[in-house]
Structure 1
């Protein structure tokens, strides 16, 4: 005899709600999986699987509570636990194989199949766990239909979820995924219940009213499982907000807020409130990091962070936004307050650091910008503070500088020059001028220095101090120098054909040495022009010894093997290279105008005299730059320097002006 059951539709509605809410919670948690790494990823994977599996199981047994048959029912504890494990494990596997951000359709199909199979297995294992005096058999058509519903709906739910998981947690697409997954669970369950046909067992003696024991067992089990769902969901939310958020918004080395927190701060302070932005960059950090190692560098950054913490207030916050870059944001800021904080920071930073037996000293440069986010976006405040910081570095470091409109104009001009520099060489906007070098002892010309100039079509003559630095930074200095070298050699060859045999010197950037093709470039130019190597002199700066000195020496030796002369320009103004002068293959030292402009000082004359004596012992020639007065000539001559270059003898001239200059120097003309 078939046994018919009935449903409590209020409890049926509750089961549907449980399925949808559990699906939504599980999918929201699982959305974190693809964004996490390591142990954090496993945490989200396990949490999502527990919530999904327990939600499926809870819905099934709440649905069983909604189904009433007039007889005693009990449950096999092990089969019941097995049904719970089936749903949890299948959820774990399905989420695991769909972790990658970009997966194929067949991977999703496998995930949907496993999820759907888990739902089917859970349901029919739960049905098998029922102990009652009836025999259960299934309508094959409805059984297959229930399985198909579970598989298709699970695949559709995963498809929707994976497509929209990057959206906010409360988006309509995630609710749609949850409803679809809930439909898979409920559709499968109630179709499976319809497939189940119950007949009174032949061995049963009687049919009794249903006892409350089964209901109590189900209520107790479902209560525990739903409690687990809530605990896991709340635990995941707590972990996300208090642990992962800390990892995402705090710098791991200093413990200071990071760039993400800085962006969040700006997002919450859009308005007319005046914010002060102090952009701090450590001055000597790279040298320490490169020489002592990244471990010492990290410890130094950590110590700097500790010192900066003392300036954190309710209305001012510190952030670490890069390697050795920090940012302070001050609410309701005034210039006086920003200046006071900048001064305090600089004083604190420059104190000695004792790190693993090393006594380290660093300073900082600070750029300050004040404004509101309503007047400008955050990028403007950051950019202007960054510009002011580089200005502070340019002024000598270990100081602060306020941003000004003049700096903004300079920045715009620099960007424009950088853009136009790309086409300047192609459009033949560069030209070369030549400044004479004079030997006062023999009253004769001893050569010219070739200097590159830029005639901008709109801005006019651009100073080399502006565009050379830009060209160095962009790498354009290499083709520019190659062009200037060829132009100077061609002019020198023309002079030689006219009977004026004077060497020409060309300045070299360290970028040319970094190409490791300098010798080839020089040889090709000399061969192309047909110029004897002894008529070419190449000028380097002493700051080059900061780079790979052995490689610099190797390339200089190869140049001298060609017969080309080498001089060291601006000697005495950069990195002290005195200890390397006996190793660096050069022919001449050029004294910077820094010495020439202060010849009245006895100490300065003593230094020049020492340099000249040293050069004499090393068999090096000495040229003084920046000679502008007769007094300069007399002082330098007394000190033993006889070759000079400067405005007194001639400004840098175009090639068509040199003939006129030669006519004015009768001493030289009488010798040629």
Structure 2
């Protein structure tokens, strides 16, 4: 379990050496990381096989750039370093790699799930402003991270991979995280092959729908079924969405898959036991689909054709889809809401999210990202979840907590008066026949 506790000796114990130490933050620098860190860790932990490292980039809002000179930047970065130090423990090694970049190598993390939570905790540290000369500054942060076998590669290679991970995080947008899975990076050839195969899936009838239930925690009953796509690839076997959806998103084919999902799901729902039991369907809509002018006519036509009440359909979208500066998207969302469809924000809290924005968004449900529940016993996280539940319900919206994996978590959600839960504790995604049973 990850616990952030202030530790007076969190930084590596090394002797001062000119050129290897950042004088302002009192942290080892990039030169030290490249020349000495690997040897130091090998001496300290002979049993270590793998560890996770995180490269953190700080960017300054325009307000600071326009109002302050460069001399003030260093004072802000010193405060950033101090905040990071206070929230790391003795197994976390902190470096200042560049003026606006910090690196953490953690020897306490043994899984990708914990690494994701660790990165999210670091990101949340920047939700709070920094104060300098009685003024408050908000900073943006991006984090790229990956897993290393420290004894099998050079620190130069490690830093290069981390910089690539950070670059991909920045491409997503401010306050984003990116995990660089070195074992799953798709080559250009593999990506092209998957894209070619994707265009054949409908003719070959290779896609199928699975369902995962969402549970009403107050009435102890099925509330909704989220529809998920699976690809029965002729060579690779059954593929999860993570293996191909991002590739479909980068092309226009995501709209084709999305249209197929809508018609297939509605056709199934027309005479299903789910409909007779008043169990709704949740359907993921990609940002590209939502921005398509044909999405409202498509959903309206499908619901009319199969005589499905729109209020039985929940459209799950990511928060960035609610960009009301784009008049087309604003018009589509308003039209769908007026027609009766319901909306849910998916993965809320993953990356940058703002509860303040929710007041103005025409949504019915908020799906809280699984990472909040993963480390609920962290005192600060418990307070965040409790506050979120209270605020969301005060806004007249319902909250769905993702990632429920055991009875303890289930009971906690009931104690917190959460509305709905979803996760492996209730059921893994399942085929249509199993969902009916």
Q: Please, which of 289, 297, 317 is the counterpart of residue 540 of structure 1?
A: 317
Question: Are 1:347 and 2:98 an aligned pair?
Answer: yes
**Match in the other structure for 2:331:** 554
Q: Does 1:393 align with 2:167?
A: yes
Q: Is structure 2 residue 218 aligned with structure 1 residue 444?
A: no
Deviations 1:540-587 (A, max 9, x none): 111324673654343222111111111111111133232221111001
Residues 432 and 409 of structure 1, relative CA distance in 2, 3 Å threshold:
closer
Would you say the 8 A contact 2:344–2:364 is kept in 1? yes
| Structure 2 partner of 1:632 | 409
- Counterpart in the other structure of 1:381: none
Please list, as runs of the form range in 1=range in 2, the aligned pairs for 1:429-578 lying within 5 A after superposition. 429-495=206-272, 499-545=276-322, 548=325, 551-578=328-355
Distance (whole Å) between structure 2 residues aligned to residue 360 and residue 541 of structure 1: 23
Q: TM-score, normalized by length of structure 1?
A: 0.40
Larger deviation: 610-619 or 492-501?
492-501
User: Structure 1 residue 616 and structure 2 residue 367: aligned?
Assistant: no
- Three-state SS of the structure 1 residue aligned to 2:226 is strand
Corresponding residue for 2:195?
418
CA contact (8 A) 1:492 1:502 kept: no
Q: CA deviation at 1:483?
A: 0.8
SS in 1 for 2:213: strand
User: What SS does structure 2 have at the residue aligned with 1:627?
Assistant: coil
Are the counterparts in 2 of residues 349 and 364 from structure 1 also a CA contact under 8 Å? no
Match of 1:183 in 2: none
Check the 8 A contact 2:142/2:170 in 1, yes or no. Answer: no
- The residue aligned with 1:356 is none
SS of structure 2 residue aligned to 1:552: helix
Could you tell me how far apart the structure 1 residues matched to 2:164 and 2:325 are? Answer: 26
* Superposed structure 1 runs of 4+ greater than 4 Å apart: 348-351, 359-366, 385-392, 394-398, 403-411
Distance 1:559 1:547, change over 3 A: closer
| Residues 1:469 and 1:517: Cα distance change in structure 2 (over 3 Å) | same
Higher relative strand content: 2
- Between Structure 1 and Structure 2, the one with more helix by share is 1
Corresponding residue to 2:367 among 565, 570, 590? 590
Q: Alignment partner of 1:491: what SS?
A: helix
Cα distance in 2 for residues equivalent to 1:629 and 1:347 = 42
Structure 1 residues 443 and 409, CA, compared in 2 at 3 Å: closer, same or farther? closer
The correspondence of residues 198-213 of structure 1 with structure 2, limited to 5 A, is: none
5 Å-filtered alignment, 1:622-661, equals 622-660=399-437
Deviation, structure 1 residue 416: 2.1
Q: Secondary structure at the match of 1:449?
A: strand
Change (3 A) 1:420 1:637: same
Structure 1 residue 392 displacement after superposition: 4.7
Compute the displacement of 1:431 (Å). 0.8
Mapped partners of 1:405, 1:590: distance in 2: 29
Task: Give secondary structure in 2 for the equivalent of 1:522.
Answer: helix
1:620-658 deviation per Cα after TM superposition (whole angstroms, max 9, x unaligned): 011111111110011111111031111111111111112
For 2:346 and 2:140, the matched residues in 1 are separated by 30
Query: Which whole-Å CA distance do the structure 1 matches of 2:430 and 2:274 have between them?
Result: 20
Residue-by-residue CA offset, 1:588-628 (whole Å, 9 max, x unaligned): 11111111211212211211111111111111011111111
Does the 8 A contact of 1:590 with 1:623 survive in 2?
yes
User: Counterparts of 1:163-174 in structure 2 under 5 Å?
Assistant: none
CA distance in structure 2 between the aligned counterparts of 1:501 and 1:426, rounded to whole angstroms? 33
Query: 2:204 aligned with 1:427, yes or no?
Result: yes
Aligned CA distance change for structure 1 residues 437 and 500 (closer, same or farther; 3 Å): same
| C-alpha distance in 2 between matches for 1:460 and 1:533 | 35
Residues 227 and 282 in structure 2, CA contact (< 8 A), matched pair in contact too: yes
Describe how 1:171-186 pairs up with structure 2 within 5 A. Answer: none
Let me know the Cα RMSD of the aligned residues: 4.0
Q: Structure 1's 511 and 521: CA in aligned 2 closer, same or farther, altered over 3 A?
A: same
Q: 1:390 to 1:531 in 2, by over 3 A?
A: farther
- 389 and 453 in structure 1: CA distance in 2 versus 1, 3 angstrom threshold: farther
Structure with more contact order per residue of length (Cα contacts < 8 Å, sep ≥ 6): 2
- Quote the offset at 1:659 in angstroms: 3.0
Q: Distance in 1 between matches of 2:223 and 2:184?
A: 42
Scaled by the length of structure 2, what TM-score is found? 0.60
Query: Secondary structure of the equivalent of 2:421?
Result: strand
For 1:420 and 1:622, locate their aligned partners in 2 and report how far apart those are by CA, in whole Å: 38
Structure 2: how far apart are the matches of 1:360 and 1:625? 29
Consecutive unaligned residues of structure 1, counting only runs of 5 or more, are 1-282, 297-342, 352-358, 367-384, 661-672
Q: Structure 2 residue aligned with 1:604, among 371, 377, 381?
A: 381
Q: Name the SS for the 2:430 alignment partner.
A: coil
Query: Within 2, Cα distance between the matches of 1:468 and 1:449?
Result: 16
The whole-number CA distance in structure 1 between the counterparts of 2:257 and 2:167 is 27
**Structure 1 residues 633 and 395, CA, compared in 2 at 3 Å: closer, same or farther?**
same
